[in-house]
């Protein structure tokens, strides 16, 4: 996958702004002194960072593409002349550039440590007594602590220099983390510049990145609709969203942040924990509103129980509370034991578990035919929520946990989300408990269900999948729900519930039926208006909403087909590339009839930016199946698909040409080359074929060069390419 967005590929800058103090200086790079270059590189890093933020976070670029590109080119030229001045966080390696192959490493200047734990009220009393003893405090001496929720997310270190965000690193092993600057730069609640005049020149803010429950639910809904990986809990969703090599994916995920501690700082803004958090807040960083200052073990315990009661209404996961000695001079004196501070502890919540009986296991069949086992439980209260079902993931999990119907099982609400079955209580196992045989046939349509490695699961998951395709009512119904979903046809008044009803009474069996619903109303079926629960007005509205969708954009149409691995992003990539349904369909049918992966037709699709073999295979699979082509054909007799509207590119000598870059490029990075070519209207391909117009060859070009020469493709050096596009 590659980034689809770079600031330079967006052509909608609101207005061009005159060059500012942060813009390129007018002295040619060759004439700059080293000292001047150093100053300018710093300024450029901040300026480019600011424009990246305006672009990525606010969708409000202030300068035109050309000016943005000029800033980057100036930065690169300066770095090329003074390589030893290149900043650790040079914009050349940062936001806006295409994705990196892997995250770089960051050594934490102050190690990122963990916290000791308290599990009971008594542990808290002991903690306070230990601190007092260590400091030699008498019974009457005051000692204040901050108390705050322990956020169940990912810890992150954000480095600000002169108020500007310049680097973000994960915790890693505490000594060294991963450089996730590009990704963090896309998080809206993390300011790119701290406000106020008391921000220290070096300020490393630390805190937690997390996902809100509501956003998590939405994310999983979208993921499921796209047939993509569904996250087990908000923490995993946060981790998965942050650690994306393609930062534009992170940008599309609403990650949140709370600042609660710090690393390297040139001068602290206060002398208490609470004072520093207050400064964070003044500077524009989000801080947790529930932090309090407390002065006794009793107050800490009361705080803990109070937060426990609020826990399920917070809207995000917490796994306990954290107490910290408030005065920083006392924190310094207390210091650390091994890898945890002596001045803080985490008071953890007990996992919310309960025991109940496993009444049965039911199989749900998803849109792509996956068979998911669901535990039916004797209703049980788990931490205030009545649980009747729990996920069992897949057949291997049932076997691994040795779950039998009739077993007493421990149920847990993991991170307040989907309940899980932890395992059976073996010494309570009833004699009549029976092992569960996972079906080999689809319980809905009776087709064979085959075991497959689940490519969406990182952990080498397996899934059993119904092979019935659209013959399977479960799959057909789930596909219809997908068809009308928000990112697909988005038909107002035709949601999941209506689909269930219309499917059950046979009014709608295929997508095309939606578009003949009105014509068949009162003809093949009793008039809907006369059915209970339907009003004449709402029926009219529904028909109008359906009519409004008789014309639909290519991207939505492709997404609506519900082809495996063709989610929202992939639909867009395909639409952007082919522009029209006819072009797309011809290309895919060519790959279907070619039948092999090394055919040009197959590779032409594979070469599209953002598209890989998994997608091409899925497209071929889908269009090979006569059921599917029939459904699409029928649908197209009711719906017209409009062309994808590409943002207009100016015409250039390479507009419409296909270019391949190969070898070691010295004048520009491959990503830059690609972005530039695409901006000029060229198609960039990964392999040489009969359609290639130009091969741009850097040093040590290998087989592609030979192939291009053999095929009579025009071969250009980097300079010749630059001359062709008018950049030299």
Catalytically active residues are 150
Of 52, 76, 148, 454, the one binding ligand IVH by CB under 6 A: 148
Does residue number 322 form part of the binding site for ligand IVH (CB under 6 A)?
yes
Nearer to ligand IVH, 179 or 516 (CB): 179
Minimum Å gap between C-beta 337 and ligand IVH is 12
- Which of 223, 233, 261, 685 contacts ligand IVH by CB under 6 A? 261
Least separation in angstroms between residue 475's CB and ligand IVH is: 42
Sheet bearing 714-716, strands edge to edge? 683-685, 658-662, 694-697, 714-716
Count of chain residues binding ligand IVH (CB under 6 A): 14
* Sequence-distant (≥ 6) Cβ neighbours of residue 673 within 8 angstroms: 661, 665, 684, 696, 721
Looking at the Cβ atoms of 41 and 301, the one nearer to ligand IVH is: 301
Closest CB to ligand IVH among residues 147, 463: 147
Taking the CB of residue 308, how many other CB atoms lie within 10 A of it?
16
C-alpha distances out from residue 483 to 96, 225, 474, 486, Å: 34, 9, 14, 9
DSSP character string of 361-393: EEEEE-TT-EEEEEEEEEEEEETTEEEEEEE--
Q: Are 514 and 491 in contact (CB under 8 A)?
A: yes
Give least dist CB 349 to ligand IVH, A: 12
Distance in Å, CB of 70 to ligand IVH, minimum? 41
Residue 277 in the binding site for ligand IVH (CB under 6 A)? no
Rounded to an integer, what is the distance from CA 344 to the centroid of its chain?
A: 33
E strands, 591-693, where?
A: 640-642, 658-662, 683-685
341 binds ligand IVH (CB under 6 A): yes
Using rule CB under 6 A, residue 578 touches ligand IVH: no
Find residue 158's DSSP bridge partners: 168, 205
By the rule CB under 6 A, 260 interacts with ligand IVH = yes
| Shortest reach from residue 382's CB to ligand IVH, in Å | 23
Interface residue with ligand IVH among 25, 75, 90, 155 (CB under 6 A) is 155
**558 scored as a contact of ligand IVH (CB under 6 A):** no
**Inter-axis angle of helices 121-135 and 297-310, to 10 degrees?**
140
Q: How far apart are CA 449 and CA 458, in angstroms?
A: 22
Quick check: 294 binds ligand IVH (CB under 6 A)? no
By CB under 6 A, tell whether 113 contacts ligand IVH. yes
SS3 523: coil
Closest CB 171 distance from ligand IVH, rounded Å = 6
**Pick 56 or 280: Cβ nearer ligand IVH:** 280
Q: Of 171, 113, 174, 110, nearest to 343 (Cα)? A: 113
Give the β-pairing of 419-424 and 462-466: unpaired
Q: Does 326 bind ligand IVH (CB under 6 A)?
A: no
Residue 310 beta carbon to ligand IVH: minimum distance, rounded to whole angstroms: 15
Among the listed ranges 144-152, 214-222, 535-543, 597-605, the one in contact with ligand IVH (CB under 6 A) is: 144-152
For residues 663 and 670, what is the distance between their CA atoms, to the nearest angstrom? 10
User: Rule CB under 6 A: is residue 346 a binding residue for ligand IVH?
Assistant: yes
- Tell me the window of 110-118, 302-310, 598-606, 698-706 that interacts with ligand IVH (CB under 6 A): 110-118
CA neighbor of 619 nearest in space, from 661, 674, 564: 564
Binding-site string for ligand IVH from residue 180 to residue 219, where x marks contact by CB under 6 A and - marks none:
----------------------------x-----------
Beta carbon nearer to ligand IVH, 257 or 661: 257
Q: Do the beta carbons of residue 88 and residue 61 sit within 8 Å?
A: no
Q: Which residue has the tokens 């799959």?
A: 475
Told to check if 339 binds ligand IVH by CB under 6 A, we report no
Q: Binding to ligand IVH by residue 115, rule CB under 6 A?
A: yes
Query: What three-state secondary structure class fits 80?
Result: helix
Q: Is 177 in the site for ligand IVH (CB under 6 A)?
A: no
> Do the beta carbons of residue 404 and residue 435 sit within 8 Å?
yes
**Smaller CB distance to ligand IVH: residue 307 or 611?**
307
Contact footprint for ligand IVH (CB under 6 A): 113-115, 148, 150-151, 155, 171, 208, 260-261, 322, 341, 346
């Amino acid at each position: 996958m590659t980034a689809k967005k770079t600031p330079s590929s967006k052509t909608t800058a609101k207005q061009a702004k005159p060059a500012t103090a942060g813009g390129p200086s007018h002295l040619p790079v060759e004439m700059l002194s080293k000292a001047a270059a150093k100053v300018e590189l710093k300024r450029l890093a901040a300026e480019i960072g600011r424009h990246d933020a305006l672009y990525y976070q606010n969708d409000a670029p202030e300068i035109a593409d050309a000016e943005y590109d000029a800033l980057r080119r100036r930065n690169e030229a300066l770095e090329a002349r003074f390589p030893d001045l290149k900043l650790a966080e040079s914009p050349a390696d940062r936001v806006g550039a295409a994705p990196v192959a892997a995250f770089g490493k960051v050594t934490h200047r102050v190690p990122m440590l963990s916290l000791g734990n308290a599990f009971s009220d008594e542990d808290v009393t002991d903690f306070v007594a230990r601190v007092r003893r260590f400091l030699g405090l008498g019974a009457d001496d005051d000692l204040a602590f901050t108390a705050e929720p322990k956020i169940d997310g990912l810890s992150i270190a954000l480095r600000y220099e002169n108020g500007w965000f310049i680097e973000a690193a994960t915790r890693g092993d505490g000594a060294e983390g991963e450089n996730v600057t590009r990704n963090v730069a896309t998080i809206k609640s993390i300011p790119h510049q701290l406000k106020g005049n008391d921000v220290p020149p070096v300020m490393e803010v630390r805190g937690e990145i997390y996902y809100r429950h509501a956003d998590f639910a939405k994310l999983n809904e979208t993921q499921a609709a796209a047939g993509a990986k569904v996250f087990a809990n908000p923490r995993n969703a946060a981790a998965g969203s942050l650690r994306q090599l393609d930062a534009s994916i992170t940008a599309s995920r609403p990650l949140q942040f709370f600042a609660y501690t710090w690393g390297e700082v040139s001068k602290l803004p206060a002398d208490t924990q609470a004072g520093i958090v207050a400064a964070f807040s003044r500077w524009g960083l989000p801080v947790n509103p529930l932090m309090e200052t407390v002065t006794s073990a009793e107050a800490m315990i009361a705080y803990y129980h109070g937060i426990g009661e609020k826990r399920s209404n917070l809207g995000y996961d917490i796994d306990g509370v954290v107490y910290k000695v408030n005065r920083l001079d006392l924190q310094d004196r207390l210091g650390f034991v091994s890898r945890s501070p002596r001045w803080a502890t985490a008071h953890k919540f007990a996992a919310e578990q309960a025991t109940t009986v496993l009444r049965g296991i039911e199989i749900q069949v998803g849109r792509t035919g996956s068979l998911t086992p669901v535990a039916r439980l004797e209703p049980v209260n788990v931490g205030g929520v009545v649980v009747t079902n729990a996920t069992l993931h897949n057949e291997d999990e049932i076997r691994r946990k040795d779950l039998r119907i009739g077993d007493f099982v421990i149920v847990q609400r993991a991170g307040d989300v989907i309940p899980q079955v932890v395992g059976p209580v073996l010494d309570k196992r009833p004699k009549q408990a029976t092992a569960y045989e996972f079906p080999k046939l689809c319980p809905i349509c009776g087709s064979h269900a085959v075991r497959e490695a689940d490519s969406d699961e990182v952990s080498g998951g397996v899934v059993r999948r119904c092979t019935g395709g659209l013959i399977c009512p479960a799959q057909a119904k789930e596909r219809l729900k997908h068809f009308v979903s928000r990112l697909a046809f988005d038909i107002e008044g035709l949601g999941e519930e209506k689909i269930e009803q219309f499917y059950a009474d046979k009014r709608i069996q295929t997508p095309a039926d939606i578009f003949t619903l009105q014509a068949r109303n009162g003809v093949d079926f009793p008039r809907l208006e006369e059915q209970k629960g339907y009003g004449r007005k709402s029926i009219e509205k529904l028909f109008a909403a359906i009519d409004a969708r008789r014309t639909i954009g290519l991207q939505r149409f492709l997404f609506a087909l519900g082809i495996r691995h063709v989610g929202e992003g992939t639909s867009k990539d395909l639409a952007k590339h082919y522009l029209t349904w006819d072009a797309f369909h011809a290309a895919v049918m060519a790959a279907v009839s070619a039948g092999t992966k090394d055919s040009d037709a197959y590779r032409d699709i594979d070469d599209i930016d953002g598209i890989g073999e998994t997608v091409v295979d899925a497209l071929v699979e889908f269009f090979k199946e006569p059921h599917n082509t029939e459904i699409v054909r029928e649908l197209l007799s009711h719906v017209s698909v409009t062309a994808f509207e590409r943002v207009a590119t100016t015409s250039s000598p390479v507009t419409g040409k296909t270019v391949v870059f190969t070898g070691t490029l010295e004048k520009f990075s491959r990503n830059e080359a690609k972005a530039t070519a695409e901006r000029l209207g060229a198609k960039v391909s990964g392999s040489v074929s009969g359609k290639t117009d130009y091969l741009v060859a850097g040093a040590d070009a290998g087989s592609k060069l030979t192939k291009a020469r053999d095929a009579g493709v025009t071969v250009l050096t980097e300079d010749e390419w630059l001359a062709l596009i008018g950049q030299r």
